[in-house]
Amino acid sequence: MSSDVLELSAAQAIAAIDAGDLSAHELFAFYRERAQADSDANGDGLNCFTWVAEGAPSATAGPLAGVPLAVKDLFCTEGVPSQSGSRILEGYRPPYTATSVAKLKDAGATLLAKTNQDEFAMGSSTENSAYGPTLNPWDRTRVPGGSSGGSAAAVAAGLAPWALGTDTGGSIRQPAALCGIVGLKPTYGAVSRYGMIAFASSLDQAGPLTRDVTDAALIFERMVGQDPCDATSLQFPEPIAKPTAERLDGIRLGVPAELRAPAGDFADAELEPGVRDAFERALKLAEGLGASVQEISLPHAPHALSAYYVLAPSEASSNLARFDGVRYGMRAPDATDLLDMYTRTRHDGFGTEVKRRIMLGTYALSSGYYDAYYGSAQRVRTKIAEDFKTAFDSVDLIVTPTSANVAFGLGEKTANPWSMYLSDYFTVPMSLAGIPAISIPCGLAAPGGADARQSSGDASDAQQSSGDASRGEGGLPVGLQIAGPAFSENRLLDAAYAFEQALGFAEGAARV
């Protein structure tokens, strides 16, 4: 079995199961063993998982035909630990399952494992997990990105065929970019948030992390829909289609000047040369596929990061108030009184980054500061949404690098919070506007200043630029972000598919 099965994408596995060439049971056992091995490897593994299924699930039929699914820790899965990467919820087993996960289970997916993440989804490297960092399968001295680092690394390493993550400011897209896989953040409201342990309610969205664009469309199709348990969820206006586009003829791509060359206060978000080269090559490739590329402006995009780091911590400070030791989760022992119970429980149970953001959010909402911070951030948000609307009058899709850098080293950005926050520079504008965006691998680059090991030149050469890179040696994955107007996921997936076919990125390079 082994390596043949490992080569199968989820869509291919489903086809094989439907054809009777593969049994869902065997497929599950195969991946379960690999996942368990990673968990058992302790220091030698990637630390992708916080829980692995113990046995085979009961028989599953449905369009997803029993393909095992890894699910980020913060999705409530009934009877299975759902900790959102935090000590304060260690061992917490919810009495219900998140709607998005239940829908996938109803469609035939089986729960393989829960994946590691930054605590309460706050982070861009998975180093904020209370259960240890997850390592990047391309280079184990580096981070897989965050907060859905466990899901991204698992898919990249072939420890799970596909996985669910969540994206609040980039937490699906950025780890997908750093691990060389596909990650989709849907239109806000397209997927129910019921059962997702909340970080920032007006920004959180569930989405797939997959090997390829076809798999992403396959899962996404089963996730969308209005949920009576989530008042902010919407009916998707059209069915999700299997992407088939081979070319980009007639598609107008816009590149925001502000996100191509960050400057001034945000010069720190400047692209690594290798990332810039890979991005520019992708644009050339797009033109070769028939797209037109033009520069556009999103005038308020440079302020998106600041607005995000007011709005998200503010909502989080409120969402995390329920972790008080009263009804579930950790409670500090021997509390002398109620105040002591609250303050010590939360001090002991929350990690440093979470505490920092709770403090930031509480401050921004507090009396005297609301207008300057929260009020301003809401207004910036309005402007950013307007900027995108205006931009989409003249272009169909917007492209940017997903991240300014390839995977960085463990510990490299933990000393300075703002340097870590800059990881979200290219992804938060879309989150604030609530529009969908996908990240796909578009090449490899050496980290820092060195040039990537590939030929420069025209579009046809670009097709050779990736693929032959073995783990880490030829460079580290670079992600291309494609964003579209609300509910344009079908267009996004098609464009992403066309890129994917042309790029021929060998995502299997990082398999364990």
Partner 1 sequence: MIDRDEVLHVARLARLALSEDELEPMARELSAVLDHIAKISELSLEDVPPTSHVVELTGALRPDEPRASFPREVALEQAPAVGGDGFLVPSPQA
Partner 2 sequence: MSEDTTALSGGQAASGGPGSNGAGPALEPVIGLEIHVQLATKTKMFCGCELSFGEPPNTRTCAVCLGLPGSLPVANAKAVHFGLMIGLALGSELAPRSIFHRKNYFYPDLPKGYQISQFDEPLCLGGRLGDVRIHRVHLEEDAAKLIHEGESGRIHGSDTSVVDFNRGGTPLAEIVTEPDIRTAEQASEWLKLLRVTLRQLGVSDVNMEEGSLRCDANISLRPTGTEELGVKTELKNMNSFRFIERGIKAEIERQRKLIEGGGEVTQETLHYDPASGAISSLRSKEEAHDYRYFPEPDLLPVAIDEQMLAAARDAMSELPAERAARFEAELGLSADSAQQLAFRSELGDYFEGALAADVDPPAPAQALANWVSGDLLARLGDGEDPAASRVEPSALAALVGLVAAKQISVGAGRQVLDKLVAEGGDPRAIVEAEGLAAIGSGDELGEIVAAALAANPDAAERVRSGNAKAIGPIVGAVMRETKGRADGGEVTRLVNEQLGI
Residues that bind partner 2 (CB under 8 A): 74-76, 82, 84, 89, 92, 94-96, 98, 193-198, 200-202, 228-232, 314-315, 317-318, 320-324, 326-328, 338, 342, 362, 365-367, 370, 374
Distance between CA atoms of residues 181 and 33, nearest Å = 22
In terms of phi and psi (left: phi > 0; alpha: psi -120 to 50; beta: otherwise), the region of 325 is: left
Using the minimum distance from each CB to partner 2, give the nearer residue, 230 or 461. 230
**Closer to partner 2 by Cβ: residue 228 or 264:** 228
Q: From 413, 335, 417, 348, select the one nearest 86 (Cα to Cα).
A: 348
275 within 8 A of 443, measured Cβ to Cβ:
no
Side-chain half-sphere exposure of 77, counting CA atoms within 13 A: 27
Q: Among residues 1 and 229, whose Cβ is nearest to partner 2?
A: 229
CB of 139 to partner 1, least distance (A): 28
56 and 29 in contact (C-beta within 8 Å)? yes
Supply the DSSP string of 299-335, one letter for each residue.
Answer: TTGGGHHHHHHHHHHHHHHHHGGG-SSSSSS---SS-
Distance CA 90, CA 231 (A): 29
Among 23, 141, 297, 366, binds partner 1 (CB under 8 A): 366
Which of partner 2, partner 1, none does residue 197 bind to, with CB < 5 to 8 Å depending on kind?
partner 2
The count of residues in the chain is: 512
In this complex, which beta carbon is closest to partner 2, that of residue 262 or of residue 349? Answer: 349
Q: Does 417 bind partner 1 (CB under 8 A)?
A: yes
First to last CA, the chain: 16
Q: Is 70 helix (H, G, I), strand (E, B) or coil?
A: strand
- The two most distant CA atoms of the chain are separated, in Å, by 71
Contact at 8 Å (CB) between 392 and 269? no
Q: How far is the CB of 233 from partner 1 (least distance, A)?
A: 9
Would residue 242 show up in a list of annotated catalytic residues for this protein? no
Examine residue 276 and tell whether it contacts partner 1 (CB under 8 A): no
Least distance between partner 1 and beta carbon 417 (Å)? 6
Which does residue 331 touch among partner 1, partner 2, none (CB within 5 to 8 A, set by kind)? Answer: partner 1
Minimal distance in Å, beta carbon 240 to partner 1?
19
- Dist. CA 27–CA 25, nearest whole Å: 5
User: From the list partner 1, partner 2, none, which binds 296 (C-beta under 5 to 8 Å, kind-based)?
Assistant: none
- Where on the chain is the footprint of partner 1 (CB under 8 A)? 92-93, 95, 188-189, 202, 228, 231-232, 234, 265, 303, 305-307, 309-310, 317, 321, 324-331, 335-344, 346-347, 350, 355-356, 358-360, 362-363, 366, 372-373, 375-383, 385, 416-418, 421, 432-434
